[in-house]
Amino acid sequence: MKSPEGYPVSSYCTTCGRDFAGDTYFDKHRIGKHAYLYQEGLKFDPPVEDGRRCMDDEEMIEAGMRQMTVEEMQNGRHGKRVGFNVQMWFDPSEGERLRTAHTK
C-alpha cells in the first residue's frame, strides 16, 4: 500500500497503511514469523495464519499503543502529516519514558 501522494512518511507500513511515530512502534506492530508473509501463509494448503503480519487496532491498543489525535500531531513534530487521513500510532508510555530520559 503506497502512502498518499505528498505524505511525508515517518515509519509508514506499506502493508497496513498506518504510520508510526518511530521505528520502535513500527517494529512493535509487526508480529509473527519472518519465514513468510501473512498473505503468503493464507495461500498454503491448508492455510497457515502465523506468518509475519500487522497487528490490528485492538492488538495494538492491548500492547499499549494508540492513535495520535490531530491536536497531538499539530502540536508536535507530526503536524505536517495532518490532513492525509493516515493513522499515526505511538505508545504514550514509551514516549514519556523517552522524554524523561532526555531531561536527565
Question: Stretch 11-35: mean pLDDT, rounded?
Answer: 93
> In this predicted model, what pLDDT tens digit does every residue of 57-73 receive, in sequence order?
999 999 999 999 999 99
What SS3 state is found at 50? coil
The answer to whether residue 41 scores a pLDDT higher than 90 is no
- Cis peptide before 4, with omega less than 30 degrees from 0? no
Domain map (residue ranges) of the chain: 19-103
The answer to whether residue 96 scores a pLDDT higher than 80 is no
Q: How far apart are CA 75 and CA 91, in angstroms?
A: 17
The answer to whether residue 95 scores a pLDDT higher than 80 is no
Q: How far apart are CA 10 and CA 26, in angstroms?
A: 10
> In this predicted model, what pLDDT tens digit does every residue of 72-88 receive, in sequence order?
999 999 999 999 999 99
Q: How much of the chain exceeds pLDDT 90, in percent? A: 69
